[in-house]
């Protein structure tokens, strides 16, 4: 919990001072060094965190990376920093590429203080991969991200374990990204695959678009049905509602957190006394997560403003007016059961649309 709290406090610092972090030095002192400290490294000990690490590589003399991190006297991680508003494309990691091959380090970290991209040599020994195997977004992370990040803590640092898991983690993240794209906008390849099994005629543009829409709607329906089935089983048997995975986001950069899933489950359980749980759905966005009746954004039951773990609010509605009520944990939503049920009655009567 201490680790989670420290990262949460660092996130609050980022959101408070983001506009001022326009230089690399500002990003280092305000975000990167506290981040390394949160991982348990003594940033004031040059035997553990070496600033401006120099390593001559071929004809390149006197080049530096921002930090080298040592564990048990061996250099294990190289860190290259950029301004908080700076680009983190791989072309800006030239020193990391060269130093990775010239030192014993197996982990490279490219960061602007907000995004922390971890690289290794999963594809070819002693050559840093072009793509990271793990990215931690300080501004928008999930508990599962914290669990992965915890592997880099000094107390638990195990290089072989990290490297052995890196390939699988990288592949999983890439597959997830591709599936999100397919879910949001089915590719021609997927359309041809499905249409080839179901359509006997020529695949005209009109047929292609019909299948594109049907595939996208079917994927969304499958996800909703899976969530509905779990919730209905839990409600009908009087048991606890098990955790369900978030539906893929419609907008880039939107990730549904565990707190939002828990909150959605609670709201749905409360409202199940008035309407069928199958009619209550979740639709996440960048600034809030909405709970809707009949998947209609004009029939909003509530909104969860949970993006900040230190300042959370439940938005309840009367007509078109939203009132934000502070909550600490999703379970606090039960305190507002009366307002949620009143909203269901209002929507069912047609007065809340």
Domain assignments of the chain as residue spans, ordered by start:
2-177, 243-349
For residue 208, what are the contacts with CB-CB under 8 A and spacing of at least 6?
188, 191, 195
In this prediction, residue 37 has a pLDDT band, given cuts at 50, 70 and 90, of: very high
Between residues 343 and 169, the one the model is more confident about: 343
| Residue 236 clears pLDDT 60, i.e. is over it | no
- 64 neighbors 54 (Cβ within 8 angstroms): yes
pTM of the predicted model, to two decimals? 0.55
pLDDT above 70 coverage of the chain, percent: 86
**Other CB atoms within 10 Å distance of the CB of residue 84:** 26
| pLDDT (0 to 100) of residue 45 | 94
| pLDDT (0 to 100) of residue 251 | 44
| pLDDT (0 to 100) of residue 246 | 45
- The per-residue pLDDT for range 254-268, each reduced to its tens digit, is 678 888 888 999 999
| Residue 248 clears pLDDT 60, i.e. is over it | no
What is the chain's mean pLDDT, rounded? 82
CA distances for 82 relative to 95, 229, 283, 299, angstroms: 13, 46, 34, 44
- The per-residue pLDDT for range 137-188, each reduced to its tens digit, is 998 888 888 988 988 999 888 888 888 777 777 777 778 778 877 877 788 8
pLDDT above 90 coverage of the chain, percent: 26
| Residue 318 clears pLDDT 50, i.e. is over it | yes
- The per-residue pLDDT for range 58-79, each reduced to its tens digit, is 555 667 888 999 988 888 899 9
In this prediction, residue 241 has a pLDDT band, given cuts at 50, 70 and 90, of: very low
Between residues 77 and 353, the one the model is more confident about: 77
Which letter, b or e, does each residue of 290-327 get, where b requires 16 or more Cβ atoms within 10 Å of its Cβ?
bbbbeeeeebbbbbbbbbebeebbbbbbeeeeeeebeb
CA distances for 228 relative to 224, 277, 279, angstroms: 6, 7, 9
In this prediction, residue 245 has a pLDDT band, given cuts at 50, 70 and 90, of: very low
Domain 2-177, CATH:
3.90.1570.30
| pLDDT (0 to 100) of residue 116 | 93
Among residues 113, 118, 151, 111, the alpha carbon closest in space to that of 11 is found at 113
CA distances for 119 relative to 81, 111, 159, angstroms: 14, 11, 13
66-70, 140-144, 306-310, 329-333: which has the minimum mean pLDDT?
A: 306-310
19-33, 175-189, 261-275: which has the minimum mean pLDDT?
A: 175-189
For residue 304, what are the contacts with CB-CB under 8 A and spacing of at least 6?
259, 260, 263, 264, 288, 289, 290, 291, 312, 313, 314, 315
Between residues 248 and 140, the one the model is more confident about: 140
84-88, 127-131, 189-193: which has the minimum mean pLDDT?
A: 84-88
| pLDDT (0 to 100) of residue 252 | 47
- 54 neighbors 62 (Cβ within 8 angstroms): yes
| Residue 36 clears pLDDT 90, i.e. is over it | yes
| pLDDT (0 to 100) of residue 214 | 83
| pLDDT (0 to 100) of residue 205 | 86
| pLDDT (0 to 100) of residue 54 | 81
Mean pLDDT for 303-329 is: 87
Among residues 107, 103, 80, the alpha carbon closest in space to that of 93 is found at 80
Rounded distance, CA 85 to CA 162, Å?
Answer: 29
Cα torsion 132, 86, 5, 152: sign: positive
């Amino acid at each position: 919990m201490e680790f989670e709290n420290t990262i949460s406090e660092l996130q609050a610092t980022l959101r408070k001072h983001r506009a001022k972090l326009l230089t690399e030095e500002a990003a280092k002192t305000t975000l990167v060094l506290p981040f390394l400290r949160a991982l348990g490294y003594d940033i004031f000990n040059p035997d553990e965190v070496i600033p401006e690490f120099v390593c001559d590589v071929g004809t390149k003399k006197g080049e530096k990376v921002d930090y080298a991190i040592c564990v048990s006297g061996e250099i294990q991680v190289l860190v290259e920093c950029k301004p908080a508003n700076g680009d983190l494309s791989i072309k800006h990691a030239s020193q990391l590429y060269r130093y990775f091959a010239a030192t014993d380090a197996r982990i490279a970290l490219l960061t602007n203080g907000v995004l922390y991209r971890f690289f290794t040599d999963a594809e070819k020994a002693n050559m840093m991969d072009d793509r990271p195997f793990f990215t931690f977004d300080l501004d928008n992370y999930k508990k599962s991200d914290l669990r992965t990040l915890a592997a880099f803590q000094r107390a638990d640092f195990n290089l072989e374990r990290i490297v052995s898991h890196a390939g699988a983690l990288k592949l999983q993240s890439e597959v997830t990204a591709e599936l999100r794209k397919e879910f949001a906008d089915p590719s021609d390849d997927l359309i041809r695959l499905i249409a080839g099994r179901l359509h006997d005629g020529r695949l005209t543009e009109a047929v292609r678009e019909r299948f594109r829409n049907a595939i996208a709607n079917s994927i969304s329906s499958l996800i909703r049905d899976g969530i509905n089935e779990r919730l209905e089983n839990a409600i009908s048997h009087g048991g606890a509602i098990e955790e369900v995975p978030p539906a893929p986001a419609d907008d880039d950069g939107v990730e549904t957190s565990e707190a939002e899933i828990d909150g959605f489950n609670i709201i749905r359980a409360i409202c199940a006394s008035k309407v069928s749980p199958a009619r209550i759905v979740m639709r996440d966005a960048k600034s809030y997560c909405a709970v809707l009746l009949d998947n209609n954004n004009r029939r909003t039951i509530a909104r969860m403003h949970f993006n900040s773990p230190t300042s959370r609010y439940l938005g309840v509605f009367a007509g078109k007016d939203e009132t934000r009520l502070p909550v600490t944990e999703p379970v606090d939503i039960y305190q507002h059961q009366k307002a949620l049920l009143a909203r269901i009655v209002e929507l069912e009567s047609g007065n809340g649309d």
